[in-house]
Structure 1
């Protein structure tokens, strides 16, 4: 009886997760993030996958560079990191790379992902 109860709970949980995934409940997509960044005036420099299967989005707005890491399976934003460079210290990063250095931006623009 105990094994059947565990099995039944596991099946119910799997069905619930499948149903949520099918309906796209509260899932942020890379396209949504890109559109939100472009709406704030950023230029999306690259959208790549990391070794862990996450989506990494690099964007720039003048001297401000922003890196957003998104868990594609859950739609959760795991990292939103912004740095600002002085005009004399502007980087020329390789394509797809987030430049390092600069000053951390305490409150980068809030992403507005609501439709």
Structure 2
């Protein structure tokens, strides 16, 4: 009889197994996750001075760094290790924020990935 209880139970079991397999195979390995320390090290390796590493209200890590007139903000989802934002702006000498700033300053000209110091492209 189509649609019987045992067939529905069998379909649910297969669906549950499929979901379990998808979850396990798509879960990122902990050694592949990006950490705030990795971001800080990479920025310092590119010549940036890390001004602050803080946590947002949503529990994400925010790394703010500067290199001369260029300021960069990287936001990281700590639960997945995914970089959600990598934002860089360049200021003119007249509009430059104080060098001891720890927060990402407002203003400036947005810099594309290829124009960033340390960019691979």
TM-score (norm 1): 0.78
Change (3 A) 1:70 1:109: farther
User: Any unmatched runs of 5+ in structure 1?
Assistant: none
Aligned residues: 109
Match of 1:80 in 2: 86
- TM-aligned CA deviation for residue 110 of structure 1: 4.8
Match of 2:62 in 1: 56
User: Any unmatched runs of 5+ in structure 2?
Assistant: 1-9
SS at match of 2:89: strand
Change (3 A) 1:10 1:94: farther
More RCO (CA 8 Å, sep 6+): 1
Which deviates more, 95-104 or 34-43?
95-104
Asked if 2 retains the 8 angstrom alpha-carbon contact of 1:36 and 1:111, the reply is no
